[in-house]
Structure formats: structure tokens, C-alpha cells
């Protein structure tokens, strides 16, 4: 073991959005980051203050229906191109709009965001079990992890740029309540990477969570808490490996 203390690593974490227990996800991820005392993390509830990224090795986002502005996209992309690392979780790639009929639409009005992220969320079926296939068994994020089954929101997405899929699943059925309801033998990424310049995004679509009080204006008390992937050791292992990837200096 080295006698020298580890060098400080700065990180920025955006945790905000709708329909999820953001407080729980924020706390759990901060606890994982705190396993490394030399990581110093700032936390934000939107994409303002991205000048902070100039001092950061990596960015973490756990959001839903929260988009950066056009100028913030330019900041994010420039930071990635210069070598930044972005751990994007769950609903980071989502825009949700309710139609007059009460269905959820996912409009494609921010193509620059979805091209940067590599995918756009389009729908999910009711929460339930689904298999996850490890398609790249040699990557540092997946090495030694076998295929598994998990209960979560199965994210059905549109691929918008070149990505490297590490884990995937397939779906044939209905995404009840969404405009894009019918899905036929669709293969979708669960965990993937996207290279942008010298930087990289790791996107993990798992990790839905909803508490009793996360649907204000829709349901005052949501009776059944949904913890999904947060109940599984494999999800925490993937998060820990992703943090280790984000910490590493590639220079």
C-alpha cells in the first residue's frame, strides 16, 4: 500500500426531476461516493452552475424530465470532448408530456441532448421482472457479472448515436399508458458507453424508485413504494464499478 494520500477528485452530481424518490437516489449515490474520502462532490437540482465542471473529473446525473438548455448542452459537450466522464442514470434521457387523453408522450424536441446521450427514453411497460443479458463480458464494468433477472422499469429507448452496449434486454408487448405503446421483439440497451472526443458517457437505465410522496398534484399518497433495482446487490455493484471508472485519470 502506498504511503502517499490519494489525490483529491472533484465531482458534480445533478439529482432532480419528477415522479421519482430523488431524495433516496441522491442519498444512496452520495453514500457510494463517500466510500472514497478523497472525492469531493457538489450537488445541484438542475443544470445551472456547470462552470463547476471545469474542476471536476466526472459528472453524475439521476433525473427525470429535466433537460439542459442549449447553452448548457454546449458546456456539457465541450467538457466531454476535453476528457470529462459522465455517469448518466435512469431518466436522464427522458422528456415526458401528458396528452389530453392522459397518455405519456416522449417528444423528440431536443435532438442535440439525445444525440449527446446516445439514446432517448420512449416508454416502459408496467414494472415487473425482466432478464438482463451481459453482451460484453470483458469490459471493466461487466467482467465477472453473469446474466441476471431484475424487477425494474424496463426502459424502451430510441438509439440516437453510436453506442457500445454492455448489457441489454428484449421486449415484446405493450407499454401501457404511453403513446408509443406497441413494441415488437425490441432489443434495448440497459448499460452502455458512448465516446465523445476524449471523454465518455456511461449510461445505466436501471434504478427506478418512487416513494409515497413523489406524485404531487396527481396522487397525494402513493401506497406502494417502488425500489426496483435498489433492492439488488448487482445494481450497487454496477454503481460502484461505474464510480471507479469515473475516478480514474485517463491521462
Q: How does pLDDT run across 183-212, given as a tens digit for each residue?
A: 999 999 999 999 999 999 999 999 999 999
Q: Which domain holds residue 122?
A: 9-247
The model's confidence at residue 14, banded by pLDDT at 50, 70 and 90, is very high
Q: Report CA-CA distances (Å) from 144 to 3, 149, 202.
A: 31, 16, 18
Distance between first and last Cα of the chain: 22
Task: Provide the grid cell at 148.
Answer: 441476471
* Number of domains the chain is built from: 1
- 92 assigned to some structural domain: yes
Q: Do the domain assignments include residue 3?
A: no
Residue 223 maps to which CATH number?
3.40.50.880
The answer as to whether 199 is a domain residue is yes
Assess if residue 2 is contained within a domain: no
Q: Could you tell me if residue 1 is inside a domain?
A: no
pLDDT at 6: 87
* Within a domain: 132: yes
Amino acid at each position: 500500500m502506498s504511503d502517499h494520500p490519494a489525490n483529491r477528485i472533484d465531482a458534480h452530481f445533478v439529482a432532480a426531476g419528477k415522479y421519482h424518490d430523488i431524495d433516496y437516489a441522491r442519498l444512496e449515490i452520495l453514500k457510494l461516493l463517500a466510500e472514497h474520502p478523497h472525492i469531493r462532490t457538489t450537488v445541484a437540482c438542475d443544470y445551472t452552475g456547470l462552470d463547476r465542471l471545469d474542476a471536476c473529473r466526472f459528472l453524475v446525473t439521476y433525473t427525470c424530465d429535466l433537460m439542459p438548455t442549449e447553452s448548457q448542452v454546449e458546456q456539457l459537450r465541450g467538457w466531454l470532448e476535453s476528457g470529462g466522464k459522465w455517469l448518466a442514470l435512469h431518466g436522464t434521457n427522458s422528456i415526458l408530456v401528458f396528452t389530453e387523453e392522459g397518455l405519456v408522450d416522449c417528444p423528440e424536441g431536443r435532438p442535440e441532448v439525445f444525440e449527446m446521450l446516445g439514446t432517448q427514453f420512449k416508454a416502459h411497460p408496467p414494472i415487473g421482472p425482466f432478464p438482463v443479458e451481459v453482451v460484453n463480458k470483458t469490459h471493466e464494468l461487466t467482467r465477472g457479472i453473469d446474466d441476471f433477472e431484475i424487477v425494474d422499469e424496463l426502459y424502451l429507448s430510441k438509439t440516437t448515436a453510436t453506442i457500445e452496449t454492455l448489457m441489454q434486454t428484449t421486449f415484446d408487448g405493450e407499454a401501457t399508458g404511453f403513446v408509443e405503446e406497441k413494441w415488437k421483439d425490441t432489443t434495448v440497451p440497459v448499460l452502455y458507453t458512448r465516446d465523445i472526443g476524449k471523454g465518455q458517457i456511461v449510461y445505466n437505465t436501471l434504478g427506478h424508485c418512487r416513494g409515497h410522496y413523489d406524485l404531487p398534484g396527481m396522487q397525494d399518497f402513493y401506497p406502494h413504494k417502488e425500489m426496483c433495482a435498489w433492492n439488488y446487490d448487482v445494481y450497487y455493484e454496477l454503481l460502484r464499478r461505474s464510480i471507479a471508472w469515473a475516478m480514474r485519470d485517463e491521462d
